[in-house]
Amino acid sequence: MKRGLLAQVTALRIGKGDAVLVHSSAGAVEMVEGGATGLIRAIASAVGREGSVMVPASDSIAPAVRARRGSRFSDHPAFSFTAVGRNADFLTRHVPFHYPLGSESPLARLHQLDGGVLLIGADQSSNLALHLAEIWADMPYTRRLRLVHLGDDEWKEMTGDPGCTAGFHKIDRILRQARILKEGKIGDIPAQFMRIRPLTSMAGEMLRGNPEALLCDDPACRSCGLARKMVRAVSAI
């Protein structure tokens, strides 16, 4: 592992014992020296033996995490995570079928550990922790339903479909003003790191002030259109 890559990770205020949720873009990871394997090695080295690294199973670097000794995998059929490190089992075990990004989710456990979110070549639209903030702020649209494929011809209705994330960028300015974001580079790729506790707290304040604050502005977006209707229906009661 190149020392420069490790130095860039630690410069984002990631240190020994940290639990880190990583979101990355596939194109960005390919540009980092050593690719996904080198990237995960650097982050794992930064957090040390007492720390943990977690990624959504859908992320392009998930196979590199699964390949590491002692990795764990949550078994939700639609929203699963892979983790490695001291708290890998704690982060991934017993994920509920309903509200898989809510109070009993790997995200909530990351919050318990005072962990952080690392975005590499990705923006806030990739940040699943903001869904946790929506659920904790009791946004009406977090109760949406979704059919989840369990295998073969078996489907089951899940409560807690997270919906659109295109409006999540609206929190960036506030996070910068509050100095919650630490920005830098990993390789030549822009990166951002933020602690999950102040992140979800700030997002919760935004949502309680304006329940539509993190919805996108695309008039063609059915997800956010439905979310607005649900918010306004509750407000009208």
Q: 131 with 112: CB under 8 angstroms?
A: no
Label residue 28 by pLDDT band (50, 70, 90): confident
Does 2 have pLDDT greater than 80?
no
pLDDT at 79 over 90: yes
pLDDT at 237: 74
How many whole angstroms separate alpha carbon 57 and alpha carbon 61? Answer: 8
- Dihedral angle of Cα 33, 10, 50, 200, to the nearest 10 degrees: -110
φ, ψ of residue 103 in degrees (nearest 5): -70, -15
What spatial distance separates the first Cα and last Cα of the chain, rounded to whole Å?
Answer: 58
Contact 81, 20 (CB under 8 A): no
pLDDT tens digits, 206-237: 999 999 999 999 999 999 999 999 999 988 87
SS3 content of the chain, % helix, strand, coil (to 5): 40, 20, 40
